[in-house]
């Protein structure tokens, strides 16, 4: 694996002197010097804050060293000085293309620590699955649109972004925010579905499948797109496993591993869906896997909306939070009329939930792969240590062995097919 120190970058003056000697000598067949090229951090295909040092022999890459850390966020350290609930908005900023899914994964990790994961009301679990699948569609729509734009297909980006805007409208109606949602709470949700929201979601599900068909017509048999992606960036099944890849990047290499089936959480074990896998492991396979994953997410959304306890508008008032005033903020009307409820709210806001000591790990199947939270607790309302397994960080680790042997133009295709977000990489 190449490191930045191993890449040979000659001094300009020395290189100029050597060139002058070669020009004045009678040795025209001297080996050419390899060139080091900075790709990023401003290159649009590197998402703005990824720098890759490429050592080139002509246009062939011989070494590649990713240089990360330009966001230097420190989320894991910040978590040690915040209550469990106060850290929820920070999870929005990890994979900021799927904040709802990040919220759910983090809440499930804390609930596992507190022993609440088996006490969540059914309606809460179904709504959380709806949130996760909407986030998956949203992230894949932008990822595929940006991937297509990187290799020259601008129209696809317009199509996918139009549908993604509809998801933002649903998020705004559900959470009050379009981008940073902070919707989940430890032990439940911040609020129930608003009236008419389920109908809007069904309407979106009917419309977005039309967009999938349009995007596939523009890409799947497009000669330029196929030539830029087929047999490019091939990751074998063994290599994907060795480097700990997860999500569509792992399944694109033919490994049928999805945490929603391998280690089911919420109500995924009650729902029917298929896990798409690739056969070659190239950029084209990873594109096909994400396209089919979105169709399966729509299938899951229909099932959740059909089986939602309490129905669409919940006339029977099915709960969305665990019935524990020491974990979930009590209703405002009770806070204003009961001293005990007021004390519970004061303690929750100032000190946080009283978590037991111990350590847990929970991994969720996020759009980019396995988003995991390891929590080490010594009791009280704040974690002693918190570690985030960011799928984008792990997936990028394969670049030093994947890029060598490819052309410079292939780097853009490979990066787009890996579909990473630097927000969670530089957590």
Of the pLDDT bands very low, low, confident and very high (cuts 50, 70, 90), residue 332 is confident
User: Who's near 113: CB < 8 A, 6+ residues apart?
Assistant: 355, 356, 358, 360, 375, 377
Judged against a pLDDT cut of 60, whether residue 367 lies above it is answered with yes
Q: Which helix (H) or strand (E) holds 389?
A: strand 385-389
d(CA 151, CA 265): 37
* pLDDT, average across residues 50-78: 89
Domains of the chain (ranges, CATH numbers): 85-377 (1.10.645.10)
pLDDT, position 307: 94
Judged against a pLDDT cut of 70, whether residue 409 lies above it is answered with yes
Judged against a pLDDT cut of 80, whether residue 40 lies above it is answered with no
pLDDT, position 343: 86
pLDDT, position 9: 52
* pLDDT, average across residues 231-237: 93
pLDDT, position 38: 86
Of the pLDDT bands very low, low, confident and very high (cuts 50, 70, 90), residue 342 is confident
70/272: higher pLDDT = 272
pLDDT, position 338: 85
CB 200 within 8 A of CB 305: no
* pLDDT, average across residues 9-15: 57
pTM above 0.75, yes or no: yes
pLDDT tens per residue across span 179-229: 899 999 999 999 999 999 999 999 999 999 999 999 999 999 999 999 999
pLDDT tens per residue across span 244-257: 999 999 999 999 99
Residue written as tokens 């990028």?
Answer: 396
CB 419 within 8 A of CB 150: no
pLDDT, position 17: 60
d(CA 219, CA 242): 31
d(CA 301, CA 136): 11
Of the pLDDT bands very low, low, confident and very high (cuts 50, 70, 90), residue 37 is confident
Judged against a pLDDT cut of 70, whether residue 15 lies above it is answered with no
pLDDT tens per residue across span 272-321: 999 999 999 999 999 999 999 999 999 999 999 999 999 888 888 899 99
Judged against a pLDDT cut of 90, whether residue 346 lies above it is answered with no
Judged against a pLDDT cut of 80, whether residue 89 lies above it is answered with yes
d(CA 425, CA 394): 8
pLDDT, position 249: 94
pLDDT, position 39: 84
Rounded to a whole number of angstroms, the distance between the first and last alpha carbons of the chain is 23
pLDDT, position 242: 94
Of the pLDDT bands very low, low, confident and very high (cuts 50, 70, 90), residue 12 is low
pLDDT, position 337: 87
pLDDT, position 417: 92
* CB environment 359-395: b (16+ within 10 A), e (fewer): ebebbbbbbbbbbbbbbbbeebbbbeebebbbbbbbb
What is the token pair recorded at 311? Answer: 């129905």
Of the pLDDT bands very low, low, confident and very high (cuts 50, 70, 90), residue 13 is low
């Amino acid at each position: 694996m190449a490191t930045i120190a191993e890449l040979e970058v000659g001094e300009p003056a020395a290189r100029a002197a050597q060139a002058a000697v070669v020009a004045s000598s009678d040795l025209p067949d001297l080996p050419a010097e390899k060139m080091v090229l900075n790709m990023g951090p401003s290159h649009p295909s590197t998402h703005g804050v990824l720098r890759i040092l490429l050592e080139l022999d002509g246009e062939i890459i011989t070494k590649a060293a990713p240089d990360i850390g330009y966001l230097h966020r420190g989320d894991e350290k910040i978590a040690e000085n915040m209550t469990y609930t106060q850290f929820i908005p920070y999870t929005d900023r990890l994979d900021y293309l799927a904040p709802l899914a990040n919220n759910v994964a983090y809440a499930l990790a804390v609930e596992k620590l507190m022993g609440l994961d088996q006490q969540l009301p059914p309606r809460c679990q179904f709504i959380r699955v709806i949130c996760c699948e909407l986030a998956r569609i949203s992230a894949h729509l932008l990822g595929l649109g940006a991937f297509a734009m990187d290799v020259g297909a601008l129209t696809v980006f317009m199509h996918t972004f139009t549908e993604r805007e509809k998801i933002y409208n649903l998020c705004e109606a559900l959470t009050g925010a379009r981008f940073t949602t902070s919707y989940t709470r430890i032990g439940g949700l911040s609020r129930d579905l608003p009236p008419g929201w389920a109908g809007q979601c069904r309407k979106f599900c009917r419309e977005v499948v039309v967009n999938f068909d349009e995007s596939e017509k523009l890409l799947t048999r497009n000669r330029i797109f196929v030539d830029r992606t087929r047999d490019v960036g091939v990751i074998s099944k063994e290599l994907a496993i060795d480097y700990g890849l997860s999500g569509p990047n792992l399944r694109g290499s033919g490994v049928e591993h999805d945490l929603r089936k391998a280690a089911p959480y919420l109500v995924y074990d009650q729902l029917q869906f298929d896990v798409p896998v690739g056969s070659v492991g190239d950029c084209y396979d990873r594109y096909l896997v994400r396209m089919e994953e979105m169709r399966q997410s729509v299938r899951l959304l229909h099932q959740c909306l059909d089986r939602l306890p309490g129905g669409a508008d919940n006339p029977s008032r099915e709960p969305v939070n665990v019935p524990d005033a020491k974990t979930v903020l009590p209703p405002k009307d009770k806070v204003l009329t009961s001293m005990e409820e007021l004390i519970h709210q004061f303690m929750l806001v100032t000190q946080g939930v009283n978590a037991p000591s111990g350590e847990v790990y929970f991994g969720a199947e996020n759009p980019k792969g396995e988003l995991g939270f390891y929590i080490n607790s010594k009791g009280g309302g704040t974690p002693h240590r918190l570690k985030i397994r960011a799928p984008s960080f792990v997936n990028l680790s394969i670049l030093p062995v994947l890029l060598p042997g490819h052309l410079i133009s292939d780097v853009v295709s490979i990066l787009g097919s890996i579909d990473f977000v630097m927000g969670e990489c530089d957590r």
